[in-house]
Amino acid sequence: MKSFRTEIENPIVEKDILELEKKIREFKGGTIDEEKFRSLRLARGVYGQRQPGVQMIRIKLPYGKVSSRQLRRIADVADEYSTGRLHITTRQDIQIHYVDLERTPELWSQLEKDSVTLREACGNTVRNVTASETAGIDRDEPFDVSPYAQAVFEYFLRNPIGQEMGRKFKVSFSSSAADTGLSYMHDLGFIAKIQEGVRGFKVMLGGGLGSQPRHADELFSFLPASEIIPMMETVVRVFDRYGERKSRAKARLKFLLKDLGLEGFKKLLKAEKKAVPFKQFPIDIDAYPKVIISDEPVTDVRIEDIEAFEQWKSTNLVLQKQSGYVAVGIKVMLGDFYTEKARLLADLVEKYAAGELRLTLRQNILIPYIKESRIPFFYSELKKLGFTDAGYNKALDITACPGTDTCNLGIASSTGIARELERVIKEEYPQYVNNPDVVIKISGCMNACGQHSMANIGFQGMSIRTKEKLVAPALQVLLGGGNLGNGRGLFADKVIKIPSKRGPEALRQILNDFEANGKGVSYESYYAKKGEYYFYELLKPLANTENLTQEDYLDWGSNKRYQKAIGIGECAGVVIDLIATLLFESDEKIKSAEEAIKDQKWAASIYYSYSSMVNTAKALLTAEKTKTNTHSSIIKDFNTYFIANGRIELKSSFEDLVLQLNKNEPTETFAKKYLADAEEFLNKAESYRKLELIHA
C-alpha cells in the first residue's frame, strides 16, 4: 500500500486521515486485530458491506444541510472512488458503495477540501445530528434550531468522551411541537420551545428502534439553550461508563435507562456534573452563516402539462415563514440518485436559490429559498433532471434501507419490495399521491434503519420456514405506528408474518379496508379503533405457507432461490496478543492526554487518562477471562481481582483512583495529576504482565 500526503490545511483533520492510513497498513500487516481495526475504521465512516473486499463510505452531513459546492465535491469523489451512485439515508447522511479500503484515506482527504467529514459517521460514537428538514423556514417554529444542531455537532466531533462507547448515540432537533425530528425515538431528542422569552428545548431521553423499540422519557420539559451541551455531555459520560459493552443487543442507552429507571439515571447525571468543563455553553446564533439568495434572473417558461404541474405544486411545495419564498421537495426513489444529476442540481440551486440543499429523514431532498415567482422555472428545470415526481412526503413516498443489496445484516430485500409497493400505489391507488396520513417504511432486518417500527404501515425483512424445512423470504407486517407530536409517538404492532411476494397483496387489503371503513380519519386513528386482532384476521390467509409457489422462494429483484445469509466480515482475522494490544492502546491514550495538555484542553486530557486506566484494567481482567461488560464493572472487578488481594499495590482503591474524574473540576492542576496517575498505573500493570508471562 502506497502512502500519500494530504492537502488538508487543518492539522487535526490531516492527522486523523494519516492515522487511518497507518492503521490500514498495520491491519493488512497483521499487527492489529480485526475487532480493533473495525472500531477505528467505523469511527471514520468506513463500513463493511455485504460484498467482500469493498466498503460502504458514510458521509456525515449535520442535519442534512449540504451546499452546492459540497454536493459537487461529493459527486466528484463518488465518481473517482465509487460507482457514481449517491444514497441518502434516514439520518440525513450520504452513502457511497463499493470503495476499496486502501483508497479511503485519500477519499476522505478529497472530501475535507470542502469541509465534508467522515468522522464518527459510523461506529460507537455520537452519530450524525439530525433535524427537521424545514429548520429555519418552518412557519410554526419558535426559532431556527440549525445553529444549535451545528454547535452540538462541532462540540462532540472528536471529543474523547464519545469515541469508544458500547454502542452508537443518536441525537435529533425538532423545529416545533410537530416533532418532525422524531425526538421520541432518539437517545436524546430536542424540541424547540420558548419560555418566558428564553430559548430552550423540551428534552427527550432514551428512545430507540431496533427489535425492541422504546419510547423516550421526558428528561426536561424545558431546558435553556445554553445548558443543552453540558447536559448532553453528562448523558454521554454516564452512558460511556455504565452502558453495556459485551452484548451488542443490550448496549444502547435505552436498555441502561430501562435498568436504572429515570430517577436512577438522573442521580448518575448529577454525580457527573462536576467533571463537565462547562456549566453553561451559550451558542452564538449571530455567528451562524447568513442565507444569501441569488438575484440571477430566470427565463420565462411555458408549462405544457398544466395538470401535472398543479399536481406537483400541491404535494411538493413547502410554504416558508419568509414571505414570498417556498421550498421545493424532490422525491428521491429509495434515496438513490446519481452524480451527473447531482452536479446539475447543485448548479441550479447555486445559481437561482440560496446554494443550499437539505437531505431529509425520508431520504428526499428539499431546496429552500425559492422565490414564488420562480416556481414554474424550477419545475421546468427539475423536470429535465427527472426530479418532478409528485408525492413528496406522502403515502407514495416509501422509505427503505438498502437491505440485502449491500448491507451485511440484511435478511430480505427492502428496496425490491419498496419499488413494487410504490408501483401498486401509483397504478391502483392514485389518490394516495396526495395523502400525508399514510406513512410506509421498510427495513431489511430488525435493526430498523428503514424505521419500519414507527410507520403507519411497516414491513420488516425476515425469512419463513415451511413444514418441509424450505426457507423463503418473508415480511413482518407492522401497523399502527405514528408521530403524535411534542415528543409523543406510537410504535407499530407486529401483526403477522407473510411470504415476501405477498407484500403487495397485503398492502392492497390494508388500503382497501381503510378506503371502505376509515373515511375522515387518519390511518393511525383508524388502526387504534380496530386493533391488532382485526388486522391479524384480515391478513391471516396471506400467512399460509402450505400453498407456496416457486415464485415465493425468490426474493424481490432476484432470480435465484432465496438463502438466508448474513453477510461476512470485511477481511480475514489475524492472530495477535489481545492483552498486549490493549496495553498498547492504553499507552496511545496516555500520549493523547499529553497532547491535550499541550493544547490546554484539560477536560479532554482527563478523559483520555480515564480511558487509559479503564483500558489497562480491562487488559488484565481479559487475561483472567473475566467479563468486561461495562466500564463500571471493570472498575469494581479490578479491585476484587487485583487490589484487594495485593496482586497490584495502589495508594487507594482502583475505584477511588479512577473516579477522581467526577470528583474534581477539569482544571490544569488536576489534569496533570490525573495523567501522572494514569502513567503510574500503566507502568505497574505492564510490570505485572511481564512477570506473569515469565512465570507462565
Residue 695 has pLDDT above 60, yes or no: yes
The full length of the chain comes to 696
- Grid coordinates given for 105: 484515506
Residues 6+ apart with CB under 8 A from 270: none
Q: Pseudo-torsion of CA 569, 574, 578, 580, nearest 10°?
A: -140
- Tens-place pLDDT, residues 588-605: 999 999 999 999 999 999
Give the mean model confidence (pLDDT) for residues 517-527.
Answer: 92
Where among 553, 586, 608 does a domain terminate?
553
685 contacts 619 by C-beta, under 8 angstroms: yes
5 occurs within a structural domain: no
Same domain assignment for residues 251 and 281:
yes
User: CA 682, CA 617: separation in Å to the nearest integer?
Assistant: 9
User: CA 165, CA 241: separation in Å to the nearest integer?
Assistant: 8
239 contacts 166 by C-beta, under 8 angstroms: yes
In this structure, the strands spanning 457-465 and 440-443 are: parallel
37-51, 350-364, 470-484, 502-516, range with the lowest pLDDT: 37-51
Residue 569 has pLDDT above 50, yes or no: no
Could you tell me which residue, 573 or 91, shows the higher pLDDT? 91
Conformation bin of residue 92: beta by default, left when phi > 0, alpha when psi is -120 to 50: left
State the average pLDDT for the chain.
92
Residue 567 has pLDDT above 60, yes or no: no
Helix (H, G, I), strand (E, B) or coil at 16: helix
- Tens-place pLDDT, residues 88-97: 999 999 999 9
User: CA 440, CA 481: separation in Å to the nearest integer?
Assistant: 10
pLDDT at res. 696: 55
Give the mean model confidence (pLDDT) for residues 242-248.
Answer: 88
Percent of the chain predicted with pLDDT > 90:
79
573 occurs within a structural domain: no
53-62, 224-233, 353-362, 443-452, range with the lowest pLDDT: 443-452
pLDDT at res. 620: 92
Could you tell me which residue, 471 or 70, shows the higher pLDDT? 70
Q: Domain holding 459: CATH number?
A: 3.30.413.10
pLDDT at res. 573: 28
Q: Domain holding 590: CATH number?
A: 1.20.120.330
118 occurs within a structural domain: no
pTM of the model: 0.92
Same domain assignment for residues 380 and 405:
no
42 contacts 123 by C-beta, under 8 angstroms: yes
Residue 97: give the domain boundaries.
Answer: 11-112
508 occurs within a structural domain: yes
Give the mean model confidence (pLDDT) for residues 9-38.
Answer: 87
Main-chain phi, psi angles of 570, to 5 degrees: -80, -40
- Grid coordinates given for 388: 418532478
Domain count, the chain: 5
pLDDT class of 6 with cuts at 50, 70, 90: low
Helix axes 523-530, 503-517, angle to 10 degrees: 90
User: CA 496, CA 510: separation in Å to the nearest integer?
Assistant: 13
pLDDT at res. 31: 82
Helix (H, G, I), strand (E, B) or coil at 97: strand
283-287, 362-366, 461-465, 629-633, range with the lowest pLDDT: 461-465
pLDDT at res. 437: 87
389 occurs within a structural domain: no
3-state DSSP of 610-638: HHHHHHHHHHHHHHCCCCCCCHHHHHHHH
Same domain assignment for residues 145 and 230:
yes
331 occurs within a structural domain: yes
User: CA 361, CA 186: separation in Å to the nearest integer?
Assistant: 13
Where among 553, 588, 608 does a domain terminate?
553
313: Cα separation from own chain's centroid: 31
Q: What angle do CA 686, 690, 694 make, to 5 degrees?
A: 170
User: CA 96, CA 87: separation in Å to the nearest integer?
Assistant: 6
205 occurs within a structural domain: yes
Same domain assignment for residues 583 and 689:
yes
- Tens-place pLDDT, residues 320-335: 999 999 999 999 999 9
Same domain assignment for residues 135 and 266:
yes
Give the mean model confidence (pLDDT) for residues 435-453.
Answer: 90
User: CA 444, CA 129: separation in Å to the nearest integer?
Assistant: 23
Same domain assignment for residues 36 and 91:
yes
Q: Which of 480, 512, 482, 478 is nearest to 498 (CA)?
A: 478
Same domain assignment for residues 332 and 424:
no
Question: In b/e form, how buried is each residue of 549-573, taking b as 16+ CB within 10 angstroms?
Answer: eeebbbbbeeeeebeeeebeebeee
Percent of the chain predicted with pLDDT > 70:
97
Give the mean model confidence (pLDDT) for residues 508-522.
Answer: 94
Same domain assignment for residues 467 and 549:
yes
pLDDT at res. 566: 52
Same domain assignment for residues 99 and 134:
no
User: CA 375, CA 371: separation in Å to the nearest integer?
Assistant: 7
570 occurs within a structural domain: no
pLDDT at res. 574: 31
Where do the H-state alpha helices sit in 249-396? Answer: 253-272, 306-316, 339-352, 375-384
Where among 62, 83, 112 does a domain terminate?
112
Same domain assignment for residues 322 and 177:
no
Same domain assignment for residues 596 and 630:
yes
Q: Domain holding 92: CATH number?
A: 3.90.480.20
Give the mean model confidence (pLDDT) for residues 450-478.
Answer: 90
Same domain assignment for residues 200 and 55:
no
209 contacts 478 by C-beta, under 8 angstroms: no
